[in-house]
Amino acid sequence: MADNVNQAARKGFLVDTARCIGCRSCQVACKQWNKLDADKTANQGTFENPRDLTPALYNRIRFVESETGGTVNWQFVSERCMHCGEAGCMKVCPSPGALYRTKDGIVAYNKEKCISCKYCVSACPFNVPRYDSNDKVSKCHLCTDRVSGGMAPACSKACPTEALKFGNRNQLIAAAKAAKKTIYGLDSLGGLGVAYALEGPPEKYGLLANPQIPTAIFLWKDIIKPLGILGFWGSIGAMVLHYVTIGPKRIEEDVDNKGENHG
Ligand code: SF4
Ligand code: SF4
Ligand code: SF4
């Protein structure tokens, strides 16, 4: 069951894996638009680079290698936040507005409201959220800034083969169905905002066959989180009470300044 998502207005991607040539223009365009620093990497015997998402890499192309008769074959799989219709990250986040749903159905975020708890990492079935040097959540925001201005996401615009089709989710899926494509992400997790057209089972592409939000998250959302919020406000109240009755606490000169700034 999707969170409060207006399915008719929902925007997203249809990733047509058969069209992807692994050029990684999408990776570069995302870095440029979002002014993200380069990631330092090392050759690890594969053309896939970088090998994982980072706080400064919101999308990447995963190279799925196989060998037939001495020839290496590749499948290129675009990897990023799936903008789930039922988003584990949003369910578990204790800070209102840190992760939020736009009117287009995008799962966006506000770093200023992120309290660095990292709960969203455990709640994401796709291991997507990363944390920047300020310990704030970092991931694909489906170019909310561009989309709200009527533009296509930077990665989609840069793709030379139309492997990243952006638009109204219902229409993208209807077109893929009409073309008799196997669609990944149709119904799972309230329908993924990033659906895939595949030519085989999801496992062949390294995609989870049945992605699910960990059950413990529902326990957190329905029981522990409300208690936690009570506890949080209780702590604030106790601090205010301490301040007005006893005065400010003096901090020892032992400030931890180990964070680096990558942008
Ligand atoms: S893929 Fe992960 S980070 Fe993205 S919306 Fe789904 S749960 Fe949240
Ligand atoms: S939609 Fe925007 S933020 Fe997301 S991967 Fe593409 S360019 Fe980056
Ligand atoms: S720009 Fe398009 S073709 Fe190139 S790697 Fe990205 S999705 Fe594939």
Nearest protein Cα to ligand 3, atom 4: 23
CB atoms near residue 241 (< 10 Å): 10
User: pTM to 2 decimals?
Assistant: 0.84
> What pLDDT was estimated at residue 160?
98
User: Does residue 143 line the site of ligand 2, with CB under 6 A?
Assistant: yes
Q: Which CATH class is domain 7-86+124-205?
A: alpha beta
> What pLDDT was estimated at residue 54?
98
Please report, for residues 28, 73, 177, 182, 236, the alpha-carbon distance to residue 58 in angstroms, rounded to integers and kept in the order given. Answer: 10, 25, 28, 25, 35
CA 110 – CA 137 distance, rounded (Å):
8
> What pLDDT was estimated at residue 216?
82
- Cα 222 to ligand 3 centre (Å): 40
Taking 70 as the pLDDT cut, the residues of the chain under it are 1-2, 221, 223-263
> What pLDDT was estimated at residue 229?
58
User: Which ligand lies nearest the alpha carbon of 153?
Assistant: 2
CATH no. for 214-248: 1.20.5
User: Does residue 140 line the site of ligand 3, with CB under 6 A?
Assistant: no
Please report, for the chain, the start and end positions of each structural domain, with discontinuous segments joined by +: 7-86+124-205, 214-248
